[in-house]
Structure 1
């Protein structure tokens, strides 16, 4: 039996992929604990999990029009770097109390890697998005140098490896079929595919509303409601003109009048809904993309910021979807894009199915647990 400490940020998309891995380790008789924001993490890992609380700065909302390098710099400067500083005492306490054999550190919770490395513990990177594997800052050398300098400032004068890329191993929740033929950081990058497990949901859904007509789901994820009002309105208009059933996730309730074939919901049970849809329109968030492709469903991707443009590019390169410009997409653009991915003659569904097949073959949570046991 071994002990594994997962160090994660208070971000749903970074915690969910690790839940299946942790559950698999527990099933095999190992002990698992978590370090992170107690309230946020506790809601996701369940009441029976052991959670060591860490301080966390308040996540300052980003302006809806903040994209590109400016959005990346804002994310690190105003949240992730302060998060790294704030979490360090809590991570130290967790390691001292739990005495883990291995620390599994999310790429955006750098405190885990910095403290584990300082204490001489083996640590593994959890790469919940494939964007970091392809050096997203290669075209922005000034931003890359700035971030490296800021991360180094957290080391208190010590030297060490990049806390986002463990030399001991990187769990990457993707496969070559989506990632593409890129050079990986080193040989110990384990492409285990998505770790998709059932998530309890209390969200009601009118399943009887779905019919034999093609169904399209529109979702911009959990963190983009502020930026998505115009896009959701255009999507609702486009789908209202089509012979489909459309489900539009509108957390803020910004949509008012929609066509009869468009169902607007503040929340949906996404994992339960995906096997019953024929296309997904989304922001190219890594989790939504992987959950969609797992079911062989093609995508219309409209990336907003952060890793989303890279993930969107991977979807298009794999042939599994069509890309539109988030800030300029009109209802006409979206109607054309949805029509294209629904047309099997274009091959998007076949390509999405091939990526989904690769995900299941990669092994997911059990394969990830295999690697962690070997560490």
Structure 2
């Protein structure tokens, strides 16, 4: 079987697909991954066929220079406008990216001739290209709460492109979940207003991990927003200085920890440390609420303190707070004193920890990757 996996955007869209790609390759299938030119360069290192759909962007400018030293400019974090982020999502993913991928992926379908396609859920262009080519297309979810790609946001944009491509109207988005929907999230976390379709297979993308049993605090703002969040890191670190726990803060590969200045002995700042090495020794995660960071915490039974910065993060944060899994702070206005109070209270909150353990048990009970491959084989007719 030949399987083509596709994504739009950055690592947050590619990374969730890689466990499926590895499982398919391990089962003896031919696997290719198509997506944005920068992240897709990592695919070849996995031993998979890489099919770029755009040219790579220039690398990000470092935060240090040979003559100027560490950059110290503090740009205030922009307040999150949830409606504006939703409109931006519709314009960028349902609009620009769809127009790009419906053409680029159609070319890969003709040249590579896969038996089945697996697209990240924000890759609407691939869904249209596969529909036009008559290739079965599974959807892989990447947005945990499920409330960002709402029909009222994306349907008007997508319908215009469907018309341009000669495809029939799909006002209910039925074609997107018609074949198979793979969900790497616990079903209880998805918002009731966005129920999974009958074709959904919730699964556990990674092996079961030990429950976290530590006392430290882990802080991350992901891989996209951290370079723009020095101001927020300043305030988080100032608040964490008064927290009675060891603290690890990761700031990303492009940001020099020296920019943030000296820290007290119980606070350690690094560019990057694998979460798998950190989370087992934690009691709490402070993050932006990205789907990957939030699910990583829950896989280890950890509650969170969340400072959403954009994209699907406000949706995830609202859902986590609703379920008693997290406290939510305003990234634009939060003060060091509020950080100290929220983190200290979260470390003492046994109810939140018990709720996180319950979700962890739900994740552990989900079928693993060994259930995904047969479903894709069946979809492809193998």
Pairwise TM-score range, normalised by the shorter structure: 0.7 to 0.9
Residue in 2 aligned with 1:246?
Answer: 247
Secondary structure at 2:41 match in 1: helix
8 Å CA contact 1:110, 1:163 repeated in 2: no
Match of 2:145, SS state, is: helix
- Equivalent residue pairs, number: 350
Deviations 1:183-221 (A, max 9, x none): 52531122224x2379xxxxxxxxxxxxx9821111111
Offset at residue 75 of structure 1 (A): 4.0
CA 1:311–1:336 in 2, change beyond 3 Å: closer, same or farther? same
Instruction: Output aligned runs, 1:353-372, within 5 Å.
Output: 353-372=357-376
SS at match of 2:21: helix
**What is the aligned-residue RMSD (CA, Å)?**
2.8
Task: Name the SS for the 1:309 alignment partner.
Answer: helix
TM-score by length of 2: 0.83
Using the alignment, how far apart are the partners of 2:77 and 2:306 within structure 1? 18
Does residue 282 in structure 1 map to residue 287 in structure 2?
Answer: yes
- Contact 1:218/1:281 (<8 A) preserved: yes
- 35-44 or 284-293, which moves further after superposition? 35-44
**1:208 matched to which residue of 2?**
none
Mapping 1:1-375, distance limit 5 Å:
2-44=1-43, 46-55=45-54, 64-65=77-78, 67-78=81-92, 81-132=95-146, 134=147, 137=150, 144=153, 147-155=154-162, 156=164, 157-161=166-170, 162=173, 165-179=176-190, 181-182=192-193, 184=195, 186-193=197-204, 195-196=205-206, 214-251=215-252, 252-253=255-256, 254-344=259-349, 346-375=350-379
- Taking the aligned partners of 2:137 and 2:241, their CA distance within structure 1 comes to 50
Q: Deviations over 1:217-253 (max 9, x none)?
A: 1111111124422221121112111221111122323
Q: Could you tell me whether the CA contact under 8 Å between 1:64 and 1:226 is conserved in 2?
A: no
Q: Confirm or deny: 8 A CA contact 1:117 1:160 kept in the other structure.
A: no
Unaligned runs of 5+ in 2: 61-75
Indicate if the aligned counterparts of 2:137 and 2:179 stay in contact, CA closer than 8 A. Answer: yes
The 1-side partners of 2:141 and 2:372 are apart by 12
Residue deviations 1:260-280 (CA, integer Å, cap 9, x gap):
211111222222211122211
Q: Deviations over 1:57-77 (max 9, x none)?
A: 969x9x952632223323443
TM-score, normalising length: structure 1: 0.84
Q: Distance in 1 between matches of 2:90 and 2:109?
A: 25
Question: Which blocks of at least 5 consecutive residues in structure 1 are unaligned?
Answer: 199-211
What secondary structure is seen at the aligned counterpart in 2 of 1:170? Answer: strand
Change (3 A) 1:9 1:136: closer
Which fold has the larger relative contact order, with Cα–Cα distance below 8 Å and residues 6 or more apart in sequence? Answer: 2
Residues 35 and 53 in structure 1, CA contact (< 8 A), matched pair in contact too: yes
| Contact in 1 for aligned 2:145/2:191 (Cα 8 Å) | no
1: CA distance between counterparts of 2:178 and 2:150? Answer: 20
Shift of 1:80: 5.7
Q: Is the 8 A contact 1:105 1:125 kept in 2?
A: yes
1:131 partner SS: coil
The structure 1 segments of at least 4 consecutive aligned residues displaced by more than 4 Å after TM superposition are 56-59, 135-138, 180-183
